[in-house]
Amino acid sequence: MKKTLFKMTMGLSIMVLAAQQVQARTCAPREDVVKRLAETYGETRKVIGIARQGAVMEVYASAASGSWTITVTLPDGVTCLIASGQSYEDMAEALPPNI
């Protein structure tokens, strides 16, 4: 499962780097974003990874509601919402035998 999460994190990191070029983002101090995700959506952090230039990519999700959010926190402490959606599921897939 850890290797699957790692691969997902790497793929999401690439998406995050591309998304950082988008000008219209919703950003706020990290503590405000985390509090709102918890209070409004019941989301907690499920995945974390380091992107370029010291940015931190995180996936927050709620197993109860299925909602999920991808955030990027910049070194200055500002967190931007990158993507969100529904139907989040924890996965524990077995790796193919040759990996």
Where residue 85 falls among pLDDT bands split at 50, 70, 90?
A: very high
Q: Which residue has the tokens 């077995």?
A: 94
8 A C-beta contact, residue 61 and residue 42: no
Q: Given a cut of 80, is residue 42 above it in pLDDT?
A: yes
pTM reported for the whole predicted model: 0.71
Question: Rounded mean pLDDT of 45-71?
Answer: 95
What are the structure tokens assigned to 85, written together?
Answer: 């959606």
Question: Rounded mean pLDDT of 70-98?
Answer: 92
Question: Rounded mean pLDDT of 7-16?
Answer: 54
8 A C-beta contact, residue 61 and residue 68: yes
Spatial separation of the C-alpha atoms in residues 32 and 86, rounded to whole Å: 22
Spatial separation of the C-alpha atoms in residues 63 and 78, rounded to whole Å: 26
